Amino acid sequence: MPRSSATSSIAAIVVLCLAALAGPASAQDTPHGTPGRFDFYVLSLSWSPSFCADAAERHAGRSVGTQCGTRPYAFVVHGLWPQYEKGFPENCQVPAPRIDHRLVASMLDLMPAPHLVFNEWDKHGTCSGLSPRAYFDTVRKARAAVKIPPQYRDLAQPLEVTPNAVADAFVKANPGLTPDGVAVACSRKRLSEVRLCLSKQMQFRDCPDVARRSCRSDQLVMPPLRGG
């Protein structure tokens, strides 16, 4: 091969490599993902009464932990998940760095089960590139960025809803959020979660790949808060 052709080929390869490095993160980076290399977050808010109803059915009415005791939890934080534009990393450090029990206890107002806090750190927090303290501080900032629609704050009776109506309520309550930045999940005809996409700077942003996976049921039920 002439020297000029060889030089051109090498230059083309370098350009392609640099373009790949500059592009969005992808699921092909490593088998599990590289800590800190992702595009945005998904804040997943779980409707606690649905979780408890499902758990009671699975466990034949036996106690399923403190979350499903007498305290009337409404939307609680399931997790804050690093995401790619398509797909997501998980379990980016195995074994995961351990987290202090005092840090776990400090998160129970938002994530009312210690095992949930541990699991979310292992699976998702390790992909954030943050220390445990910084990751859970970010969880708290993400939750503070979201306003719960008033009709869902103190639900005393079962409420029939549609996924679109719930998404629209969150869009209305949160300036900057669009229908392409939210997804509604369901389980056994119950609303289970609302998932909202946030930039690393805690600003709402669109995430079509997440939004298109919203529940497609025509009608869902939101069970009331405990004691409702």
What positions carry a catalytic annotation? 78, 120, 124
Rounded Cα–Cα distance for residues 40 and 61 (Å):
38
Tokens linked to 50: 């649905």
Q: What values do phi and psi take at 220, rounded to 5?
A: -125, 160
Reduced to 3 states, what is the DSSP secondary structure of residue 47?
strand
In order of 99, 106, 126, 151, the CA distances from 102 in angstroms are: 9, 6, 18, 34
Rounded Cα–Cα distance for residues 209 and 214 (Å):
10
Name the nearest CA neighbour of 192 among 156, 157, 161, 228.
161
